[in-house]
Structure 1
């Protein structure tokens, strides 16, 4: 590994899979530290020293610890700019790019979780997203411009949104409307998604076997 390598603390079939896909797209040197969530390895003292919330993903790069998807995606795209997955400072798309990454974490995902849990976000003045219908309408309107969030410009934000929308559709958290379905299919068809999906499947199977072996008779 080079001095520029990223360490990714990863568990398959979680939010960290999207970060693996981003690292693949960036062709960034990296090392995987795989955690078996079934064995609660995310709560080991060593890992909690890095991420006290016991969540994945977490990355370490040049001594810096970065957690939270909405920090990790722009960080990595800026750290490895050769692929052009982040509009540079001064680019007219820089602001909208950061805005849509922020919308994902600050508004969209909280709305989806509240909707799934049948929680009503009240009062409105305290809601981070207004209403479920409003945030879904905002996303659908942006995707209708296609093929990516910013027209023809593919960015790291598309990997965040595309991978998240895919599992949200699968679990019925959001309706697979034509624009959402087309976008999810477009992102899911990328070679990086296929590569990481295959690898994550193999890791998950090995973890299931390890969990089964560890269960008492």
Structure 2
């Protein structure tokens, strides 16, 4: 039995982790959970009390939250070089943009999608601040190279790139040239293509019952 198990649904952020696992090229197994009963079952709630996917088990360890899973896997499989060396200057950018997207960007795009009010009265207290400020800040992340850490592709690109792709698809992120060029590079990666094919096949299987 594989030591790594991904609990996921193809219509979830589990796609992020699937992509990273394909980039790592390590053995893993997938456990598909349907929304509703399966994600709220006692067995799964024992792993993740939130009742949400993705979740990853690694032996007896449990990691939840897609950004945390990406960081954990990149560090555990350090030889795969999907995270900058801890002593390198690029490590700061790696952490910065990984968690910028997990925090401010997630908040800003959710607010846009659901028409939540962020204005001069509450923007100082909201992690994202104004939507446009968040988008402009994200654009600066791509100013210094093909990837977030310059020439090195990292787990942060998997996480950030996935959010930009979804934002472009659902129109919660503006189709700026920097975002379009970046996602085009990412979508061409063999591991990204494999991950999408695997999840699309899983989605088709669940649709067919």
Category of TM-score, reference length = shorter chain? over 0.9
CA RMSD of aligned residues (A): 1.4
Q: Which runs of 5+ in 1 are unaligned?
A: 211-217
3-state secondary structure, aligned to 1:43: coil
Corresponding position of 2:202: 203
d(CA) in 1 for partners of 2:85, 2:60: 24
- Stretch deviating more after TM superposition (85-94 or 131-140): 85-94
d(CA) in 2 for partners of 1:46, 1:94: 37
Deviation at 1:36, TM superposition (A): 2.2
The TM-score, its normalising length taken from structure 1, stands at 0.90
- 1:37-94 CA-to-partner distances (Å, cap 9, x unmatched) read 2x64211111111111111110011311110112111100001111101112212221
Corresponding position of 2:159: 160
Corresponding position of 2:79: 82
d(CA) in 1 for partners of 2:11, 2:193: 13
Deviation at 1:209, TM superposition (A): 1.9
Aligned length: 207
- 1:5-54 CA-to-partner distances (Å, cap 9, x unmatched) read 211101113111110110111112211111122x6421111111111111
User: Structure 2 matches for 1:48-127, cutoff 5 A?
Assistant: 48-121=45-118, 122-127=121-126
3-state secondary structure, aligned to 1:144: coil
The TM-score, its normalising length taken from structure 2, stands at 0.94
d(CA) in 2 for partners of 1:145, 1:94: 14
Deviation at 1:141, TM superposition (A): 1.7
3-state secondary structure, aligned to 1:14: coil
Query: 1:146 touches 1:152 (CA, 8 Å); kept in 2?
Result: yes
Which runs of at least 4 in structure 1 moved beyond 2 Å after TM superposition?
none
User: Structure 2 matches for 1:110-189, cutoff 5 A?
Assistant: 110-121=107-118, 122-189=121-188
d(CA) in 1 for partners of 2:123, 2:202: 42
Query: 2:97 touches 2:141 (CA, 8 Å); kept in 1?
Result: no
Is 1:7 equivalent to 2:5 in the alignment? yes
Q: Which runs of 5+ in 2 are unaligned?
A: none
Is 1:19 equivalent to 2:13 in the alignment? no
